[in-house]
Amino acid sequence: MARFKRISDVYEMKVFTDSGYFFGEIEEALVKDNKIQSWKIKAVPGSLLSSKIKDAKGVIIPQKFFKAFGDIIVIQEVDFATPSASEEEAE
């Protein structure tokens, strides 16, 4: 397991899903009470994230979905289900 001295050491590291897809890159850590709560991942060209979310710059993923930190970062597969027409009408 890799040990990082600073959170900034992780910035711009590549994030992959546990299925092996390139997901994006770490942009920022969101910290509360001296603990990392979640990570902001930016959508970069060619990533799964950029193909799923066309207009957004990235997403925030809770720490609990992160499986491994090393030369790359591995996260649990995240479902990007888009709301159906009936769900949008209900709102």
Q: Give me the CATH code for the 9-90 domain, please.
A: 2.30.30.240
**Coil vs helix vs strand at 52:** helix
- For the full predicted model, state whether its pTM sits above 0.95: no
**Domain extent listing, the chain:** 9-90
pLDDT digits (tens, 9 = 90+) for 57-90: 899 999 999 999 888 999 998 776 554 444 444 4
Contact 65, 5 (CB under 8 A): no
Q: What is the pLDDT of residues 5-53, one digit of tens each?
A: 788 888 999 999 999 999 999 999 999 998 999 999 999 998 988 888 8
